[in-house]
Structure 1
Amino acid sequence: MDVLFVLGIATGITTALFGFGGGFVTVPLLYVLLSQDGSNAMHSAVATSTCVMIFSALMASWRHHRHGSLPWQTVRPLVLPLAIGAALGALLSAQLDAALLRHLFIGYLVLTLADNLLRKGFLQPQQATLQPLSASANAVAGSVIGVIAALLGVGGSVMTVPLMRRRGASMTTATALANPLTLPVAVAGGAVYLLLPAVTTTSAGQVGLVHVPAALTLMLGAWLGIRLAAPLIGRIPDAVHAHAYLALLTMVLLVMVML
Structure 2
Amino acid sequence: MTWIAGYLVLGAVAGFFAGLLGVGGGAIMVPVLALMFAAQGFADAQVMHLALGTSMAAIVFSSISSLRAHHRHGAVRWPIVRSIAPGILIGTFLGAQLASLIPTRPLAIFFTVFMSYVALQMLANIKPKPSRQLPGPVGMFLVGSGIGAISALAAIGGGSLSVPFMVWCNVRMHEAIGTSAAIGFPIALAGTAGYLFGGWSATDLPTWSIGYIYLPALAACVMMSMLTAPWGAKVAHRLPVATLKKIFAALILLLLAKMLHGLL
TM-score range for the pair, normalised by the shorter chain length: over 0.9
Report the TM-score when normalising by structure 1. 0.92
Does residue 251 (structure 1) correspond to residue 257 (structure 2)? The answer is: no
Does residue 66 (structure 1) correspond to residue 66 (structure 2)? The answer is: no
Report the TM-score when normalising by structure 2. 0.91
Contact kept in structure 1, 2:24 and 2:62, CA below 8 Å: yes
Amino acid at match of 2:112: I
- Deviation per CA, 1:152-180: give whole Å up to 9, x if none: 11121111010011111222111111111
Give 1:103's aligned residue: 109
Contact kept in structure 2, 1:85 and 1:145, CA below 8 Å: yes
Contact kept in structure 2, 1:94 and 1:199, CA below 8 Å: no
Distance change in 2, residues 1:177/1:230 (3 Å): closer
Distance in 2, Cα, partners of 1:220 & 1:241: 25
Amino acid at match of 2:64: L
Distance in 2, Cα, partners of 1:180 & 1:227: 13
* Root mean square deviation of aligned Cα: 1.8
Give 2:30's aligned residue: 27
Tell me which moved more, 42-51 or 180-189.
180-189
Distance change in 2, residues 1:29/1:88 (3 Å): same
Q: How does 1:136-147 map to 2 (within 5 A)?
A: 136-147=138-149
- Deviation per CA, 1:225-259: give whole Å up to 9, x if none: 12432432411112212222222222222222322
Quick one: which of 205, 213, 218 aligns to 1:215? 218
Amino acid at match of 2:96: A
* Alpha-carbon shift at residue 195 of structure 1 (Å): 2.5
Give 2:135's aligned residue: 133
Contact kept in structure 2, 1:59 and 1:226, CA below 8 Å: yes
- Deviation per CA, 1:29-63: give whole Å up to 9, x if none: 11112222212010000000000000001110011
Tell me which moved more, 195-204 or 173-182.
195-204
Give 2:202's aligned residue: 199
Distance change in 2, residues 1:237/1:117 (3 Å): closer
State the number of aligned residues: 255
Distance in 2, Cα, partners of 1:198 & 1:151: 19
Contact kept in structure 2, 1:198 and 1:209, CA below 8 Å: no
Distance in 2, Cα, partners of 1:243 & 1:127: 22
Quick one: which of 172, 175, 187 aligns to 1:173? 175
Distance in 2, Cα, partners of 1:100 & 1:6: 28
Give 1:91's aligned residue: 97
Distance in 1, Cα, partners of 2:26 & 2:230: 19
Contact kept in structure 1, 2:19 and 2:231, CA below 8 Å: no
Give 1:82's aligned residue: 88
Structure 1: state its 5+ residue gaps. Answer: none
Amino acid at match of 1:42: M
Counterpart secondary structure, 2:100: helix
Give 2:151's aligned residue: 149
Amino acid at match of 1:208: G
Query: In percent, how many aligned pairs have the same letter?
Result: 28
Distance in 2, Cα, partners of 1:181 & 1:52: 15
Does residue 37 (structure 1) correspond to residue 42 (structure 2)? The answer is: yes
Contact kept in structure 2, 1:170 and 1:238, CA below 8 Å: no
Counterpart secondary structure, 1:168: coil
* Alpha-carbon shift at residue 199 of structure 1 (Å): 3.3
Tell me which moved more, 237-246 or 155-164.
237-246
- Deviation per CA, 1:194-236: give whole Å up to 9, x if none: 2232533121110011001110100011012124324324111
* Alpha-carbon shift at residue 126 of structure 1 (Å): 4.3
Contact kept in structure 2, 1:50 and 1:186, CA below 8 Å: yes
Amino acid at match of 1:148: I
